[in-house]
Structure 1
Amino acid sequence: MTKYDYIFHSSEISEESLSPEEAVAAIAVVTAIADSAVEEVDPETLGSILWEFEVFEEYSEDEITEIVDRLIGIAEDEGLGALYNAASEVLSDDLVLDAFAAGVIVLIDDEEELVIPQKKQPYLKKLQDALDLEDEEAQEIVQEIIAAFQEAENEEYLEEDYSEDIYESPLGNFTVPIPVDSQQGGKVQSQEGVVGFSDDFGTLLRIDYYPIPPEQVNEMGSIGQEEYLQSILVDKYVPQAILANVPNAQVEYSEYLSDMMAGAYFVLINMPQGSTISKQENNGTATRLDAYRGLLSFIDAEFLYIVSSQRSFLKDEIRGSVEEEAEDIKESILEFVETIDFT
Structure 2
Amino acid sequence: MTNYDKIFNSSEISQEPLSPEEAVAAIAVVTAIADSSVEEADPEILASILWEFEIFEEYSEDELTEIVDRLIGIAEDEGLGALFNAASKALSEDLVLDGFAAGIIVLIDEEELVIPKQKQPYIKKLQQALELEDEEAHEIIQEVIAAFQEAEDFEDDDTLGVEDYSEGVYESPLGNFTVPIPVDPQQGGKVQSQEGVVGFSDDFGTLLRIDYYAIPPEQLEELESIELEEYFHSILVDKYVPQAILANVPNAEVKYTEYLQDTLGGAYFVLVDMPKGSTISQQENNGTSNRLDAYRGLLGFINAEFLYIVSSQRSFFKDEPPGSLEEEVEEIKERILEFVDTIEFT
Please give the range of the TM-score, normalised by the shorter of the 2 chains.
Answer: 0.7 to 0.9
1:179 paired residue among 178, 182, 192 = 182
Say which SS state the counterpart of residue 77 (structure 2) adopts. Answer: helix
Q: Residue 292 of structure 2 corresponds to which residue in structure 1?
A: 289
Q: Identity percentage over the alignment?
A: 78
Give, in angstroms, the shift of residue 202 of structure 1.
Answer: 1.6
TM-score, structure 1 normalization: 0.83
Give, in angstroms, the shift of residue 2 of structure 1.
Answer: 5.2
Unaligned residue ranges in structure 1 (runs of 5+): none
> Are the aligned partners of 1:101 and 1:145 in contact in 2 as well (CA < 8 Å)?
yes
Say which SS state the counterpart of residue 255 (structure 1) adopts. Answer: strand
Say which SS state the counterpart of residue 132 (structure 1) adopts. Answer: coil
> Are the aligned partners of 2:57 and 2:192 in contact in 1 as well (CA < 8 Å)?
no
1:332 paired residue among 322, 331, 335 = 335
Query: CA 1:211 to 1:28, structure 2 compared with 1: closer, same or farther past 3 Å?
Result: same
Give, in angstroms, the shift of residue 269 of structure 1.
Answer: 2.7
Q: Residue 70 of structure 2 corresponds to which residue in structure 1?
A: 70
Structure 2 CA distance for aligned equivalents of residues 188 and 304 of structure 1: 21
CA RMSD of aligned residues (A): 3.1
Q: Residue 138 of structure 1 corresponds to which residue in structure 2?
A: 137
Give, in angstroms, the shift of residue 267 of structure 1.
Answer: 1.9
Say which SS state the counterpart of residue 292 (structure 1) adopts. Answer: strand
Give, in angstroms, the shift of residue 28 of structure 1.
Answer: 0.7
Structure 1 CA distance for aligned equivalents of residues 267 and 96 of structure 2: 36
Amino acid at match of 1:175: T
Worse-matched range after superposition: 330-339 or 291-300: 330-339
Amino acid at match of 1:107: L
2:259 paired residue among 256, 259, 263 = 256
Structure 2 CA distance for aligned equivalents of residues 318 and 17 of structure 1: 26
Unaligned residue ranges in structure 2 (runs of 5+): 155-159
Query: CA 1:252 to 1:135, structure 2 compared with 1: closer, same or farther past 3 Å?
Result: closer
Structure 2 CA distance for aligned equivalents of residues 49 and 29 of structure 1: 11
In the TM superposition, what whole-angstrom CA distance separates every residue of 1:185-225 from its partner, at most 9, and x where no partner exists? 01112245322110112211011223334664455344322
Q: Residue 99 of structure 1 corresponds to which residue in structure 2?
A: 99
Query: CA 1:7 to 1:317, structure 2 compared with 1: closer, same or farther past 3 Å?
Result: closer
Structure 2 CA distance for aligned equivalents of residues 180 and 204 of structure 1: 9
Give, in angstroms, the shift of residue 114 of structure 1.
Answer: 4.6
Q: Residue 243 of structure 2 corresponds to which residue in structure 1?
A: 240
Worse-matched range after superposition: 128-137 or 57-66: 57-66
Structure 1 CA distance for aligned equivalents of residues 81 and 291 of structure 2: 31
Matches for 1:203-222 after TM superposition, within 5 Å: 203-213=206-216, 216-217=219-220, 219-222=222-225
Say which SS state the counterpart of residue 71 (structure 1) adopts. Answer: helix
Say which SS state the counterpart of residue 36 (structure 1) adopts. Answer: coil
Structure 2 CA distance for aligned equivalents of residues 125 and 192 of structure 1: 34
Say which SS state the counterpart of residue 208 (structure 1) adopts. Answer: strand
Q: Residue 172 of structure 2 corresponds to which residue in structure 1?
A: 169
Give, in angstroms, the shift of residue 96 of structure 1.
Answer: 1.3
Amino acid at match of 1:128: Q
> Are the aligned partners of 1:28 and 1:103 in contact in 2 as well (CA < 8 Å)?
yes
Give, in angstroms, the shift of residue 97 of structure 1.
Answer: 0.4
Say which SS state the counterpart of residue 223 (structure 1) adopts. Answer: coil
Q: Residue 47 of structure 1 corresponds to which residue in structure 2?
A: 47
> Are the aligned partners of 1:296 and 1:333 in contact in 2 as well (CA < 8 Å)?
yes
Structure 2 CA distance for aligned equivalents of residues 108 and 174 of structure 1: 37
Give, in angstroms, the shift of residue 99 of structure 1.
Answer: 0.5
In the TM superposition, what whole-angstrom CA distance separates every residue of 1:108-142 from its partner, at most 9, and x where no partner exists? 344x4554344434433332333333343233323
Say which SS state the counterpart of residue 7 (structure 2) adopts. Answer: helix
> Are the aligned partners of 1:22 and 1:87 in contact in 2 as well (CA < 8 Å)?
yes
Query: CA 1:80 to 1:281, structure 2 compared with 1: closer, same or farther past 3 Å?
Result: closer
Matches for 1:272-287 after TM superposition, within 5 Å: 272-287=275-290
Q: Residue 83 of structure 1 corresponds to which residue in structure 2?
A: 83
The alignment covers a number of residue pairs equal to 339
Say which SS state the counterpart of residue 193 (structure 2) adopts. Answer: strand
In the TM superposition, what whole-angstrom CA distance separates every residue of 1:25-60 from its partner, at most 9, and x where no partner exists? 221111111222211111233234324433345655
> Are the aligned partners of 2:171 and 2:178 in contact in 1 as well (CA < 8 Å)?
yes
Give, in angstroms, the shift of residue 333 of structure 1.
Answer: 1.5
Give, in angstroms, the shift of residue 88 of structure 1.
Answer: 2.9
Query: CA 1:193 to 1:125, structure 2 compared with 1: closer, same or farther past 3 Å?
Result: farther
In the TM superposition, what whole-angstrom CA distance separates every residue of 1:289-312 from its partner, at most 9, and x where no partner exists? 343321111123343221101223
Structure 2 CA distance for aligned equivalents of residues 191 and 114 of structure 1: 23
Query: CA 1:215 to 1:126, structure 2 compared with 1: closer, same or farther past 3 Å?
Result: farther
Give, in angstroms, the shift of residue 243 of structure 1.
Answer: 3.3
Say which SS state the counterpart of residue 284 (structure 1) adopts. Answer: coil
